[in-house]
Chain A
């Protein structure tokens, strides 16, 4: 299991996470809206129904009471009181049904002989607001209002109160109130609300889950494709995508695999070409070298007895030998170049002290002329992972070039290092070159000045090979030069195999 990513990172990196989160958020909003609308609708529906019942109930109660009072045989206070008491003797609320309470008040201007105020079941008279009583007294129609039903013991419930005016001949007017508790409706409402919530949460969760799995299923071929593409890039050309079914995803898979096949064919075609080239190089090498060896030995045998020749023949034998040498180095360089072209050049890495290697090269080139070449190097060994044969060849080439073009001035060789790179700079103060020729320097057989350079020898392939050798090490060769001021060649390579250059300890541009 991979460690849990931060939400922000998941948001950016995972399409599944992003889409699922979006869909879940939208679902929450929609469910909340629908839920609120439903709640309003249902609660008002329930209330309206209750109100209708309450009013009907109050009206019938009022009519009954009115009839009872009107047709009562007794028209004195005691009889009135008896009737009211009877009316108010409502049974207390049973366990499951809502409370229904009554209250009766005599009008303020009623003869004191018939004054009466009473409620059922210890209902506090303040449950009926004075403003509502005022309204009821002034009107002949049925009035209603929402209120809080309060008992003397402090219990309260939300309720509807419906008011009526009773008129009793000879006694005056009385207010009759029927209070219906809404407790039952509140309970129903909260139950419905609870279910609405539960349904909402479950729905959100389900939609999230379904989205997640459907997306995962959709995305997994794309993930596979990405993985296979990575493997292909890494060189595992045999790998293909698994394809199931015949849908759009499968057709993506087919196209992807076709691409991989054509890629593999192209690569193997190029590999074959490269192998063919290598074979050719190797064959040419063998066929040319054997006769060259014979010629060389023959020329040496002839040269060894040149004292007995006429001067022209003796000189000819000398020319023969020097040209055979030149031919040989040209052949060697050409083979090396074609090896680079065929990408058949391989590094043989060793850990080497580069200072020692540069010193050896200088000694090899100029065993006795150390006054011409000055070496500036760190005191401690500079250990690097390189192919010593190739790096030596680069350094030999750069120093030999500098010595050839120095015009009796000295040559400075400098070694500098940083943590991961090492630079070797070769600076001469001789003829130099036009800075615009900088790029041409590394072209094969290019010569700065064809009329004079020919005498200084070299095959014309040296710098081109040096550049290829440097590239093989992930290194670079920087150049600076100016006519009459000399030239500066800087080889920079990473110290460790597989590294790359981040900085350059020596800059080619002189201060």
Chain B
């Protein structure tokens, strides 16, 4: 069974989340303090973490950083503020997605499903983007013989771009493809993750060759095999 770790200091909300998620068929583990997350995380090894930003003990952004040092598990931040700084801080700390309270529970479940979905075996060919090889079966990417560790979301983002090398993806298109969003939502999510991804795979993130920006439109994949 899929285990979800819910980290929120509001007991009622945590309990309600527990009811909704159990109803959706997940196993739920409730944590109420930020500094309690790491011991439980190592013990339980959950499949996804719902993480509130404001937490006693240790705040959500710090917790997120700690988890990312150890694991690529999907993290969805629950933010009550929705202000740019909080959202960006969470995303930069390594969160894959965020939900602004008050969120629609069905939307939350839908997005969790996208984050939890395993890549299906329908595409078995290896993809190439720039001088990077993507092994979809092994779920790994290799640059110059070296394996680069990516979160599942970053991997999905890269695969989405690499699958259609000629296409220019708008931010909205990437949102619905990778995050499973309806259109007309926040596109900052895309910007932050593209930057994170670039910092991992590009040799010079300031001058990207693998993920190219198309001004005023969005992003596209660099030419496969092109020298960096």
**Which residues on A are within 8 Å of B, measured CB to CB?**
282, 285-286, 289-298, 300-301, 324, 328, 346, 348, 350-353, 360-361, 363-364, 381, 383, 388-389, 392
Contacts and interface: CB of A to CB of B under 8 A. Distances in A.
A191 B216 CA distance: 84
Contacts of A389: 186-187
Nearest to B13: A294
Interface stretch (B38-46, B99-107, B134-142): B99-107
A506 B150 CA distance: 50
Contacts of B113: none
Given A290-B13, A291-B12, A353-B216, A360 B172 contact: yes
B188 A360 contact: no
B10 A296 contact: no
Contact of B106 (A286, A294, A300, A350): A300
B172 A286 contact: no
B54 A286 contact: yes
22 contacts: A282-B81, A285-B81, A286-B80, A286-B81, A290-B80, A291-B10, A291-B12, A291-B13, A292-B101, A293-B13, A293-B101, A296-B102, A296-B105, A297-B20, A301-B105, A351-B216, A352-B216, A353-B216, A361-B184, A383-B216, A389-B186, A389-B187
Given A291-B12, A300-B105, A361-B184, 4 more contacts: A290-B101, A296-B103, A301-B20, A364-B183
Given A282-B81, A285-B81, A388-B187, A381 B216 contact: yes
A109 to B, nearest CB: 122
A149 to B, nearest CB: 98
Nearest to B23: A301
Interface in B10-67: 10, 12-13, 16-17, 19-20, 23, 54
Contact of A348 (B10, B19, B84, B103): B84
A301 B17 CA distance: 11
B70 interface: no
A294 B83 CA distance: 21
A399 to B, nearest CB: 13
A285 B80 contact: yes
B16 A297 contact: yes
B16 A294 contact: yes
B104 A296 contact: yes
A350 B216 CA distance: 7
A356 to B, nearest CB: 8
B102 to A, nearest CB: 4
Contacts of B54: 286
Contacts of A346: 84
B172 A293 contact: no
Nearest to A393: B184
B84 A301 contact: no
B106 A360 contact: no
Contacts of B19: 297, 301
Contacts of B80: 285-286, 289-290
* Interface SS of chain B: loop
B215 interface: yes
A9 B13 CA distance: 73
Contacts of A324: 102
Contacts of B215: 351
A298 B216 CA distance: 42
A360 B182 CA distance: 12
A182 B70 CA distance: 118
B110 interface: no
Nearest to B191: A350
B174 to A, nearest CB: 14
Contact of A297 (B17, B81, B187): B17
B147 interface: no
Contacts of B23: 301
Interface string B97-137: 00011111110000000000000000000000000000000
Contacts of B16: 293-294, 297-298, 301
Nearest to B184: A364
Given A282-B81, A285-B81, A294 B12 contact: yes
A291 B187 CA distance: 27
Contacts of A296: 102-105
B150 to A, nearest CB: 26
B102 A292 contact: yes
A505 to B, nearest CB: 20
B177 to A, nearest CB: 16
Given A294-B13, A301-B19, A383-B216, A289 B102 contact: yes
Contacts of A294: 10, 12-13, 16
A296 B17 CA distance: 11
A363 B184 CA distance: 10
A392 B172 CA distance: 13
